Amino acid sequence: MTDPETLSVTIVDGYVDEPAHFGVPPYISTYPRYAAGALVDAGVPREQITYHTIDRLRDEPDYWRDVDEADLLLYLGGMTVPGKYVGGTPAEPDEVRKLAWTATGTSLMGGPVKFGVGDENAGATETERQDLDFDFVAKGDVEAAVHDLVESGLEGFNNRMRDIEEVSRWAREGAFVVEQHPNHPDHLIAELETSRGCAYRCSFCTEPLYGNPEFRPPPTVVGEVDALSDYGVKHFRLGRQADILAYGGDGEAPNPDALRQLYGGIREVAPDLETLHLDNMNPITIVEWPEQSREGIRIIAEHNTPGDTAAFGLESADPVVQEENNLNVTAEECFEAVKIVNQEAGWRPGEDPGDGPSVGRNTPNRLPKLLPGINLLHGLKGEREETYERNREFLQRVYDEGYMLRRINIRQVMAFDGTDMSDTGAEIANDHKQLFKRYKKRVREEIDNPMLERVAPLGTVLPDVHLEYHQDGKTFGRQLGTYPLLVGIPGERELGRTIDVAVVDHGYRSVTGVPHPLDLNAASMDELTAIPGIGDSTAGDIVVDRPYETLSDADFGTEVDLSRLATVRPLERAD
Ligand code: SF4
């Protein structure tokens, strides 16, 4: 019998991406936090719990020693939606196997990896469950498994789900583990769970495998935020749920009072938080309960931080595909939901709440509070050429009627065992690959680009952009938050820092920005020429005529109102 007090445990985070749960850096998912709390609850002292991300093991191979020497190795990971990531690279199956081989102690694997493992994390793939040479695989909740495994003296556990009381306790007790994340404290966003499961049964989705929704009451989520902020976390996303609007209700209808308690409580315990965003809102909830939904959306927009996105899983605007895959919302209903979110939450800080959508060049220079995103999924049963046209027409209509979308996410299906899609597999997606490519390009050019210009017009300020990598003489970075815009800034700036940026140009899914405010006495030629209407010769004149005492001294007749972007700072005297 192994005494928990003497046990050393290493948790390795291979990252997760599920339909309603994200944990690739800068995000930290709930899994390592809950698992750490469960270990403490089972009697393992905190100082004997080590947490590493897979990227840290890659970057600093000495840390493999912690994998080797731990009495218990816990691997957490699994991708059940396809994706490409900037902030981290999910563990590959071979790396996960190597973890199991390296561990001399007991090894346990859990998280969404239990749903299956593909050869790669990409669309149009089929998956199968593998144990990847671990001693144990948690087929229920991994936090419950690790808790029971420790309590049994590492003998074994029954696969089970944890209950709300346990998770509330473990979430608080495990908050300490965030301090060991390489992105802690400034560049880390904690994914928060408000519920699991879903009232609906879409063919491709793993969320219904958790059953009907079960909500965590407001005090337990608020208590977790309180604990996390004690450990320095300032960025939060309410992302672990199928539908934030349904929070605290009967499973389907909204309950604005619960939302108020949740959001109000979070603001109370973490008054200095810098990001409060969400993920996943079901458009069907908005259409079926419009008044309660409007109220709920207003509550969210009152308490969140700007640039928030409510991702809508329309998945397909084609009625045939909807029917065959049990999708719960029609294109018409989704359009109505887009309109309502735009009206209630598409305002910008400085405007009156409920005054959306805020569009045009003279709007306040911040992103709107909350906008819808649209998820479209291809390769579903019944898909035909017309499906692509219908999806594109839906997006075009949203644009033409003056509304905003923050993000259009177009993917191909991954077929998981246990979902209805497992019979169809990736066949349709593979057959339609060329069609998919052409259509995606068209959406990017014809809709994404003008939409982005509407959402973030010239001069929109994005505070605290984290500088992440260099490419082609530019620096790229993003804010922390839900689906942040990728920003390219002229020149190679020091990475790892944050700066405020003003938008000057728009790509399909990214923007070009200059530091804000741009000091005309110090700006580089590259920064100046990034501003529309300033070519090499005007930029050269601006540089030659320095220094300026006031902005009006630098009047070069540019078509852009420089006061939205620039300033002049006095030059430092060298005496
Ligand atoms: S509504 Fe459909 S896609 Fe969304 S979580 Fe539920 S089952 Fe999954």
- pLDDT tens string 442-483: 999 999 999 999 999 999 999 999 999 999 999 999 999 999
pLDDT at site 114: 63
Q: Which is the closest atom of ligand 1 to the Cα of 205?
A: 8
Neighbours of 158 (CB within 10 A): 10
Residues of the chain with pLDDT under 70: 1, 80-83, 114-130, 415-422, 571-575
* Residue in the block written with tokens 């735009």: 342
Protein residues with CB under 6 Å of any ligand 1 atom: 19-20, 198, 200-202, 205, 207-208, 242, 282, 313, 328
pLDDT at site 574: 46
Q: Show Cβ contacts of residue 232 under 8 Å, excluding neighbours closer than 6 positions.
A: 178, 179, 184, 185
CA of 326 to the centre of ligand 1 (A): 10
Nearest residue CA, atom 4 of ligand 1? 242
List alpha helices for 349-500, DSSP H.
385-400, 421-424, 427-431, 433-443, 449-455
CA of 205 to the centre of ligand 1 (A): 6
How far is residue 126's CA from residue 264's CA, in Å, rounded to a whole number? 42
CA of 327 to the centre of ligand 1 (A): 8
How far is residue 335's CA from residue 36's CA, in Å, rounded to a whole number? 42
CA of 242 to the centre of ligand 1 (A): 6
Q: Which is the closest atom of ligand 1 to the Cα of 282?
A: 1
Determine the residue of 207, 210, 322 to mutate for testing ligand 1's pocket, defined as the one with the most ligand atoms within 8 A of the Cβ atom: 207
Nearest residue CA, atom 5 of ligand 1? 242
Question: With 0-12 CB in 10 A as exposed, 13-18 as middle and 19+ as buried, what is 63?
Answer: middle
Give the SS3 label for residue 506.
strand
Element (H, E) at 526: helix 525-529
pLDDT at site 575: 47
Give the SS3 label for residue 177.
helix
Q: Under a CB-based contact definition with an 8 Å cutoff, are residues 164 and 28 in contact? A: no
Q: Which is the closest atom of ligand 1 to the Cα of 208?
A: 7
CA of 283 to the centre of ligand 1 (A): 11
In this prediction the pTM is 0.92
How far is residue 454's CA from residue 448's CA, in Å, rounded to a whole number? 10
Number of alpha helices (DSSP H) and beta strands (DSSP E) in the chain: 19, 24
Q: Show Cβ contacts of residue 570 under 8 Å, excluding neighbours closer than 6 positions.
A: 521, 547, 549
Q: Which two tokens stand for residue 252?
A: 């389907």
Determine the residue of 205, 288, 377 to mutate for testing ligand 1's pocket, defined as the one with the most ligand atoms within 8 A of the Cβ atom: 205
Q: Under a CB-based contact definition with an 8 Å cutoff, are residues 74 and 35 in contact? A: yes
CA of 88 to the centre of ligand 1 (A): 26
How far is residue 242's CA from residue 468's CA, in Å, rounded to a whole number? 30
Question: With 0-12 CB in 10 A as exposed, 13-18 as middle and 19+ as buried, what is 400?
Answer: exposed
Q: Which is the closest atom of ligand 1 to the Cα of 284?
A: 1
pLDDT at site 121: 46
- 82 φψ region: left (φ > 0), alpha (ψ -120 to 50), beta (else): beta
